[in-house]
Amino acid sequence: MKKITKKILVIEDEDFVRENIIELLDAEGLNVLGAENGRIGIDLAKTQLPDLILCDVMMPIIDGYGVLSALRQDSIMAGIPFIFLTAKAAKADVRQGMELGADDYLTKPFTRAELLGAVASRFKKQAAVHKQYHTELRQAKDQLNYLIRNDNLTGLPNRLSLQERFKQVQPADTEHQQILTVLCLGLDRFNQINENLGHAFGDLLLKAVAQRLSSCVDAQDTVARLNADEFAIILATNPHKQDAVNVVQSILKSLSQTFVLANREIFITASIGMAFYRRDGKELEQLLSNANKAMLKAKQQGGDQYQFYTATFHLGSSDRLTLQTSLRHALEREELLIHYQPQVDLQKGQIIGAEALVRWQHPERGIIPPDKFIPLAEETGLIVPIGDWVLQKACKQIKIWQTKGFPSLRVAVNLSGRQFCQMDLRQKLVQILMDTDLHPQYIDLEMTESMLVQNTEVAIRRLNALKSLGVQIAIDDFGTGYSSLSYLQQFPFDILKIDRCFISNITNNSNNTAITKAIIQMAKSLGLKLIAEGVEKAAELDFVYHHQCDAIQGYLFSPPVSTQEFEKLLTTKKSLPLPPGYND
């Protein structure tokens, strides 16, 4: 293996001294470059990226202090060890250099042993720093890979682990007799517990529920938390459907027993939907979706029971069908509108952009929450025209605000899975950019992990095609679905958004703290911009601020607001008061 030779840059205006140093270091097998003044030295440092710089203090044109100051302002140059060569031995001179970031001083005249000793010492310390950095990076990567596969509250596997486990236990096509059951479990009236007893008590209950669920299944089965009060279970060890039913009944019985938490007795029931591999689907997402439909049916019938999935469930209730019909006319009747949630820079505290969020102002029902109509739009395919409308509208509005005096304002727009899979998405985006006269550098296209994992090669090609226009790509809700570090490294992301479930109460939840720190460290190492979502408390702001996230959005600064209200935030120059010490 070829030995890697260290590269040293010597910046010294006295030819005799410079050549003498070069000759001494050359004799030691080092690769040495020389510069006769500070200006040439700065240029060489930036082009050659040396491992160490030896620089005279007193030089014409640019002195050593000017050289060091210029290099320390460059993020690439900032970490290069820097040794001053000087005949000035006064403490004030040494202090001035150290304050600028010098690593050592050599006072002229110095001996060969002193020179080589200083160089060796710097390389030794540099090697130790690099080793420590790579150790911490590896530890952070291992920690993130571990934590990101587990729910941060209950410790149960999350959706990513569930997917991996499903692949492990999925029966081969030849094993026609093997039964695999997927359960979707939702706690009945859990919102009432949160509202009456508080979210902290609700979290205690979720942990206790997780423990009981785990005790009801075999070690080969998998219990996972999907979100909020919903859990999924893969029963892989039951040879007959009746065996799966027996497990479900034991779960319902176990959960109906009293919970004693924080010196308070609490009763809870659950609704469970059951879907069977092959009969109800061959992919996990399809099985979970069908089990979820069965679970909702159980809830509609009063809860504390289970339901098998049947094909008739997809028809839904009459109210659901009515809502679907209304949604088909929402665009043409101009019932949809966009609210904008500010994104705030964490260095200046100023608004730098907004996430565009669609809302439905129903003429009879009022505002219908996105979680009610977006799934309907996805199912019916209406999400495509709605998504196109949001993209067009948001780009047009941002351009208006730019012309009103906010030229750097950005807009983040969510892409749905159906939108992303359109063959003509890039052409549509080009047309929108032409119609709105908005430069693509001001658009962030946000997408979730689940959209990208089905066919990574195709997804990467599509993302690169979009990026070639000049837009930026953001991964949204990172850590809540299929997250894996491999995705960060494979896909051409520019921005990573930390989901609010990690930010919420981050100072009181050690798991959230560990995961978020690991995410930040890994994202920084990959050169990604970091946006923290759901910042609602000063302590959460303080955390993401001092861990050097780039921006935030959340109710602490502003909820999503109408076009008029957002423009008011811009014109009044509302800013975020930042804690001291960000750059410490």
Hunting for tokens 């997780």 — which residue is that? 210
Phi, psi (degrees; rounded to nearest 5) at 153: -90, -55
Among 382, 184, 383, 213, residue whose Cα is nearest residue 285: 184
The answer to whether residues 246 and 255 touch, using CB atoms and an 8 Å cutoff, is: no
The answer to whether residues 10 and 18 touch, using CB atoms and an 8 Å cutoff, is: yes
SS3 54: strand
Among 458, 452, 525, residue whose Cα is nearest residue 484: 452
Give alpha helix (H) positions in 241-282. 241-256
Residues 291 and 346 in one domain: no
Exposure b/e, 155-185, CB count within 10 A at least 16 = b: ebbbbbbbbebbeebbeeeeeeebbbbbbbb
CATH number at residue 494: 3.20.20.450
Joined tokens for residue 226: 């999907």
Neighbours of 125 (CB within 10 A): 13
Instruction: Return d(Cα 550, Cα 533) in angstroms, integer.
Output: 11
The answer to whether residues 28 and 41 touch, using CB atoms and an 8 Å cutoff, is: no
Q: What is the pLDDT of residue 483?
A: 47
HEC string of 452-473 equals CCCCHHHHHHHHHHHHCCCCEE
The answer to whether residues 374 and 441 touch, using CB atoms and an 8 Å cutoff, is: no
Domain boundary among 116, 145, 174: 145
Phi, psi (degrees; rounded to nearest 5) at 384: -70, -55
The answer to whether residues 534 and 544 touch, using CB atoms and an 8 Å cutoff, is: no
Which residues partner with 498 through β-bridges?
478, 532
Q: What is the pLDDT of residue 584?
A: 45
CATH number at residue 82: 3.40.50.2300
Q: Between the CA atoms of 74, 76, 79 and 80, what dihedral angle is there, to the nearest 10 degrees?
A: -100
pTM score over 0.75 = no
What are the pLDDT digits (tens) for 256-300?
A: 888 999 888 888 899 999 999 888 888 899 899 899 989 988 887
Q: Is 341 exposed, middle or buried (0-12, 13-18, 19+ CB in 10 A)?
A: buried
Q: What is the pLDDT of residue 324?
A: 79
Q: What is the pLDDT of residue 41?
A: 92
Instruction: Return d(Cα 124, Cα 119) in angstroms, integer.
Output: 9
Residues 123 and 218 in one domain: no
What is the count of structural domains for the chain? 3
Residue 578 domain-assigned?
Answer: no
Residues 203 and 284 in one domain: yes
Instruction: Return d(Cα 432, Cα 397) in angstroms, integer.
Output: 12
Report whether the peptide linkage leading into residue 580 is cis, meaning its omega lies within 30 degrees of zero.
Answer: no
Helix (H) or strand (E) holding 299: helix 284-300
In this structure, is the dihedral angle defined by the CA atoms of residues 252, 482, 178 and 295, taken in order, positive or negative?
positive
Instruction: Return d(Cα 107, Cα 104) in angstroms, integer.
Output: 10
Instruction: Return d(Cα 527, Cα 546) in angstroms, integer.
Output: 18
Joined tokens for residue 20: 């003498």
Q: Beta strand pairing status for 230-235 and 222-227?
A: antiparallel
Q: What is the pLDDT of residue 1?
A: 40
Domain boundary among 258, 285, 316: 316
Query: How far, in Å, are 443, 513, 515 from residue 520 at the CA level?
Result: 23, 11, 9
Joined tokens for residue 395: 């780009």
Measured CA angle at 450 (ends 447, 484), to 5 deg: 100
Q: What is the pLDDT of residue 470?
A: 94
Residues 545 and 410 in one domain: yes
Instruction: Return d(Cα 206, Cα 214) in angstroms, integer.
Output: 12
In this structure, is the dihedral angle defined by the CA atoms of residues 432, 437, 441 and 443, taken in order, positive or negative?
negative
Positions in the chain whose pLDDT score sits under 50: 1-2, 315, 481-483, 583-584
Residue 60 domain-assigned?
Answer: yes
SS3 321: helix
Among 165, 162, 202, 210, residue whose Cα is nearest residue 185: 210
Neighbours of 395 (CB within 10 A): 23
Residues 18 and 134 in one domain: yes
Joined tokens for residue 284: 């996990």
Residue 387 domain-assigned?
Answer: yes
Residues 18 and 81 in one domain: yes
Residues 329 and 294 in one domain: no
Instruction: Return d(Cα 240, Cα 246) in angstroms, integer.
Output: 10
Q: What is the pLDDT of residue 102?
A: 84
Instruction: Return d(Cα 81, Cα 127) in angstroms, integer.
Output: 11
Residues 235 and 361 in one domain: no
Which residues partner with 270 through β-bridges?
187
Q: Which amino acid, residue 373?
A: F
Residues 533 and 402 in one domain: yes
Residues 271 and 330 in one domain: no
Give the domain range for residue 475. 325-571
What are the pLDDT digits (tens) for 4-55?
A: 578 999 999 999 999 999 998 988 888 999 999 999 999 999 889 898 999 9
Residue 152 domain-assigned?
Answer: no
Instruction: Return d(Cα 343, Cα 251) in angstroms, integer.
Output: 44
Residue 151 domain-assigned?
Answer: no
Query: How far, in Å, are 352, 430, 558 from residue 555 at the CA level?
Result: 16, 33, 5
Residue 582 domain-assigned?
Answer: no
Residue 577 domain-assigned?
Answer: no
In DSSP notation, 34-72 reads: EESSHHHHHHHHHHH--SEEEEESS-SSS-HHHHHHHHH
Residues 488 and 354 in one domain: yes
Helix (H) or strand (E) holding 213: helix 199-215
Residues 72 and 206 in one domain: no
Residue 150 domain-assigned?
Answer: no
Domain boundary among 316, 340, 370: 316
